[in-house]
Chain A
Amino acid sequence: MDNKIKIKLFGNLSELANTQEIWIDFKTTFFELRDELFLQFPLLVNKEFVFAINQKITHENVIINQNAEIALLPPFSGG
């Protein structure tokens, strides 16, 4: 998809969004992409999860490549 980027969802996030992957408009930095995600999927706002960018947990702002693999990882607690 042109100018879109795929985001994979895990755990209760995929339940919330009713799908295991979503597509949003591509942005060149992580924080802009995060804002775009919250704009398009407001139900994710205030949910607990971390971003994995290219299989790496990312907290700080970084430049994003359009081929980047992005996943949202919620905490699990069951045992």
Chain B
Amino acid sequence: MNLRFHRQTILPNYGEAAQQKLLNSKVLVIGAGGLGCPCLQYLVSSGIGLIGIVDGDIIDMSNLQRQILFTTNDIGKNKAVTAKEKLKDIHPSTEINSFSFFLDGKNAKEIISKYDVVIDCTDDFNTRYLINDVCVELSKPLIFGANYQFEGQVAVFKMDDTKINLRDIFPTPPKQAMRCEEAGAMGAVLGILGSVQALETIKLITQQQDFLYNEILYLNVIKYETVKIKISKKLSDVRSPMLGNTIIDLNVEEFIEKINNPLVQLIDVRNETELPKVDFKCTQIPLTTLKENIHLLNKEKEIVLFCHAGIRSLEAAERLQDEFDFQQVSHLKGGIVKYFSMK
């Protein structure tokens, strides 16, 4: 029995086998700030075998009230390198790699591919979506955490067959969310959230039954209210995730389901003379007359567009979203040609 980990190995459902899983695991923490500092401390203490820390930022005075690995003497130093320095004596057998630069589109895949679990402790949505999209592509479990004043969110995307991820909540990076500089942040609140992220990571690695599996936890620490929200796949996969496009491509099977759904309005954007004629009820609005006929579209319904081959319907879908602010828009990929060939 390893004395160092004795107290956690005697917990129900933990034990030596679970500890061995932690010792063999490789965890990447992106962002060594308010969430990352407490998260890293608990991960190293718990005996994770290899930890990567990515952060290109420099420690400044205003960080110290919440980024608890750092002291006044560290001002001006890189966060990832300094965090490694502070953590290395906690459990000397934990190997720590520091990356003293920001994650970007060029380095993300190479770094993330070397780890089993990724923890998003960053504070901007562009990086969060980059991490998310790479984790989807590489099927790496992702532990998401974020803070707003006295509230927080933690989600676990296991990236198993459904690959439920951040884009199933917010399909594109939100633009209005405030960062700590504007909204304020309390160190102890970030401590709670970073600890929840560490705990969920430990639960995932040791294969516990109960964790935030494809759920997002909303936590309010003023009233101590929590809500766990289930995340399900948002219709079909979003097209070109890295480009942030939200038009949904429907395959023929999905399209057929829409035909008889009373909450769906089907729109044929071909010209009136085009063949083949369809065998179901729909509204015909040729793409060239979209603007004049916009009143024919019912905003309360989900709009499903189709055309001959799927090119015009995609353009119409984009215009409905961008120019006319429709939110529930999808189109038949491959068009009516595909529909008749598969039906």
Chain A interface (Cβ < 8 Å from any Cβ of B)? 8, 10-12, 29, 31-32, 35, 47-48, 50, 52, 55-57, 59-62, 71, 73-79
Once A12-B178, A48-B175 are accepted as A-B contacts, the answer to whether A79 and B34 lie under 8 Å apart by CB is yes
Whether, in the assembled complex, B263 has its beta carbon less than 8 Å from a beta carbon of chain A, the answer is: yes
Contact B151 A79 (CB under 8 A): no
15 contacts between A and B (CB under 8 A): A10-B151, A32-B300, A55-B229, A59-B235, A59-B328, A61-B263, A71-B229, A73-B218, A77-B124, A77-B128, A77-B174, A78-B147, A78-B180, A79-B34, A79-B147
Contact A78 B125 (CB under 8 A): no
The 8 Å CB contact of A48, one of B124, B149, B174, B227, is B174
Per the 8 Å Cβ criterion, residues 30-82 of B in contact with A are 31, 33-36
CB distance from B198 to the nearest CB of A (A): 14
B185 proximity list for chain A (CB < 8 A): 78
State in angstroms the CA–CA spacing of A2 and B194 once bound together. Answer: 42
Once A61-B263, A61-B302, A61-B328 are accepted as A-B contacts, the answer to whether A76 and B151 lie under 8 Å apart by CB is yes
CB-defined interface of B140-168 with A at 8 Å, one 1/0 digit per residue?
00000111110111000000000000001
State in angstroms the CA–CA spacing of A44 and B328 once bound together. Answer: 18
Contact B122 A79 (CB under 8 A): yes
Per the 8 Å Cβ criterion, residues 193-246 of B in contact with A are 216, 218, 220, 227-232, 234-235
Known: A29-B300, A79-B146. 14 other contacts (CB 8 A): A12-B148, A35-B299, A60-B302, A60-B328, A62-B263, A75-B146, A75-B170, A76-B148, A76-B177, A78-B34, A79-B36, A79-B145, A79-B147, A79-B180
Whether, in the assembled complex, B183 has its beta carbon less than 8 Å from a beta carbon of chain A, the answer is: yes
The 10 closest A-B pairs by CB, nearest first: A79-B123, A78-B147, A76-B146, A77-B177, A75-B174, A76-B148, A31-B300, A61-B263, A56-B230, A79-B35
Once A10-B220, A61-B301, A79-B147 are accepted as A-B contacts, the answer to whether A52 and B235 lie under 8 Å apart by CB is no
Contact B147 A59 (CB under 8 A): no
Contact A77 B178 (CB under 8 A): yes
CB distance from A13 to the nearest CB of B (A): 10
Whether, in the assembled complex, B111 has its beta carbon less than 8 Å from a beta carbon of chain A, the answer is: no
Once A12-B178, A47-B176, A57-B232 are accepted as A-B contacts, the answer to whether A79 and B300 lie under 8 Å apart by CB is no
CB distance from B264 to the nearest CB of A (A): 8
CB distance from B173 to the nearest CB of A (A): 9
A52 proximity list for chain B (CB < 8 A): 227, 229
A29 proximity list for chain B (CB < 8 A): 263, 300
Contact B180 A55 (CB under 8 A): no
Whether, in the assembled complex, B266 has its beta carbon less than 8 Å from a beta carbon of chain A, the answer is: no
Whether, in the assembled complex, B179 has its beta carbon less than 8 Å from a beta carbon of chain A, the answer is: yes
Q: Name the CB-closest residue of B to A61.
A: B263
A78 proximity list for chain B (CB < 8 A): 34, 123, 146-148, 178-180, 183, 185, 190
Once A59-B235, A78-B34 are accepted as A-B contacts, the answer to whether A31 and B147 lie under 8 Å apart by CB is no
The 8 Å CB contact of B153, one of A12, A47, A48, A76, is A76
Q: Name the CB-closest residue of B to A34.
A: B300
B151 proximity list for chain A (CB < 8 A): 10-11, 76
